[in-house]
Chain A
């Protein structure tokens, strides 16, 4: 048992930190783009390219595809440092599509897409959710029919965030409606500029931009099917086991910002930090963040050993996101009525960031990437409780 990094891992961590510190001005601009809710803008793309050149986006991929051939622990280290500086980057190409292409794609697909993902040149939008398929994703209906050298795709996706700035759609579609629902799904890489695709904006709280995506007889080349037809669900689930986690860096950063605020802000003539209730609340947040950090570290250790995490993944996402919520809720409690002031208002604290960004984002994270309710169901099932 060793609760510390090796000397080499620590050196790698310092190297990553130095890179991020050297790009601190650019990172500030990336954060402004994220805060705007509009999605990736030119600064985010610039950062992705710079991080990509260093191999930091996909460090554990083989070098021939643009990675560093790094260990999983090193990948965890990079992810934690990125999470601390940038919060949620949530890149789909890096985190969801890329790994499936790496493990199940053809050599041509790997060569066409992986290096560009690794270099931060392209991004994918996650094409999973539909109006009738949210938590019950396997019920998805969008239909892909083989026709010669193409698949013809018809249907609709919803809450496909990133469709408006990504080059590709990482699409889960039904290729066999006669099979049981989990066994008739295939994964496709779709060029979002394809004729027949319409992207319509939707707006979530805090001016959060997401999209409906409509497919009208869209022709997708057959060589854009990834892996085998009708085995898409397996690939999707396998990827989730490795990708579903939570990096504490985001919460660590936000806690530091909160500590800074309460140290330097007075109420009734005294710093808010002197209030014993606030001290207890903040200490509990620090405790919860540490528990969450250890949960994430546990997953890294499991994968590093060559095993596959099971309930640990759901537990980590569940707890990390609920901690992020509690942290945002504490902010709102502390700034009290100032929390009702929106971006651009006189007297707003940090331009309304605690409410508009933190609190809304935290609420959203209890729903995305598997709702807290679903995560609890999954944990119970993986602990051996019987299915309904």
Chain B
């Protein structure tokens, strides 16, 4: 039993922390919230050169052969600065489905480019219901000779507006159970049959509506098994949920660190505010939440890396993180008082992010339902 990282893993963390602290100050992150593309190309090039885009992909496809746990470590550091750029969407939502579901030909076609920084990708799954239940997949994929015609729309698709590749989860047959009859397609982001609308978000994250206007895709664009794509997508959702927990953890730890620092610096009534019990208790509660995120996230990430069944542990991690990140950022902002409420304060970046991340890949209620199923309450 060992809950510590290895020396190499600590090294990865340190390199990432130092690089990101230098390259992603709050001013850049806030600037990118207003920027339509959402990231500086030079920064993207640099992380490609560091091997981060290819971190978890096999070296056969241009990757670095690290495992999912190690990706979680990197994501935690990216979350700590609220990294501006389509890393999560490209690597987790684009790359992992191709890695887990693709044929060798498909992997060869997309992964090397992705690892080099030349391909942006994302997953188009949720629709107007904003649900991660298979019954919410209604976008139609109708077979037509050697192709499929995709019609319908997707909502809250991260970074779709700049994605070269959209991995679209569609319904090929409506009959039967909701998790049957689902097929996953690789769709060219530049296709003229797609209308991609960037939504204005509170936290500056790039979320899109994507309308598929009878978009034609070749049958070779099917990713994984036709009509039976949901099982693999469920697995991707588990990976995405835990990857998101890692990012949230980084942000939460950052907010705790800021709150502790501020408590030691800010004086009122002739003393440091950290000497007031209310502030002390807020910090203690925040630390408990952050440490809970840390242990549950890394337990789930480790189990996923080891290929162990962990449906309950994944949902425990995301349910906890959904609630805890909100609590931590809320208290963190309040410890800072008025200055924490200002748009140009770093604390408010995470305060807004927590409200978005709460719902990514299932909110606390959704995951508590899964936990109650795993407990076999009935």
Contacts and interface: CB of A to CB of B under 8 A. Distances in A.
Interface of A: 1-6, 9, 73, 259, 262-263, 271, 273-274, 279-280, 282-284, 286-287, 290-291, 294-295, 297-298, 300-301, 304-305, 311-312, 315, 318-319, 373, 375-377, 379-381, 383-388
Given A282-B377, A286-B375, A376 B4 contact: no
A384 B271 CA distance: 15
Given A286-B372, A379-B283, A386-B274, 4 more contacts: A283-B375, A300-B1, A312-B291, A383-B260
B8 to A, nearest CB: 12
A376 B5 CA distance: 28
B3 A297 contact: yes
B1 A384 contact: no
Nearest to B283: A380
Contact of B277 (A290, A318, A377, A383): A377
A270 to B, nearest CB: 10
Given A259-B375, A283-B368, A291-B295, A379 B2 contact: no
Interface residues of B, number: 45
Given A5-B1, A279-B377, A319-B288, A287 B280 contact: no
Interface of B: 1-6, 9, 69, 260, 263-264, 271-272, 274-277, 279-281, 283-285, 287-288, 291-292, 295-296, 298-299, 302-303, 313, 316, 319-320, 365, 368-369, 371-372, 375, 377-378
Contacts of A5: 1
B7 to A, nearest CB: 12
Chain A at the B interface: SS class: helix
Nearest to B277: A377
A381 B274 CA distance: 9
B43 to A, nearest CB: 29
A287 B302 CA distance: 18
Contacts of A1: 2-6, 9, 69, 298, 302
A323 to B, nearest CB: 11
B260 A379 contact: no
B378 to A, nearest CB: 5
B27 to A, nearest CB: 27
25 contacts: A1-B9, A1-B302, A3-B303, A5-B1, A6-B1, A263-B378, A279-B377, A280-B372, A283-B372, A287-B371, A294-B296, A301-B2, A304-B1, A315-B287, A319-B288, A319-B292, A377-B277, A380-B283, A383-B260, A383-B283, A385-B264, A385-B274, A386-B272, A388-B275, A388-B277
Nearest to A271: B378
A279 B371 CA distance: 9
B291 A295 contact: yes
Nearest to B3: A301
Contact of A384 (B264, B292, B316, B365): B264
Contact of A385 (B1, B69, B279, B298): B279
A319 to B, nearest CB: 6
Contacts of A286: 316, 371-372, 375
Q: Which 4 A-B pairs have the closest CB atoms?
A: A380-B280, A385-B274, A294-B295, A376-B284
Nearest to B292: A291
A284 B9 CA distance: 32
B283 A385 contact: yes
Contacts of A282: 372, 375, 377
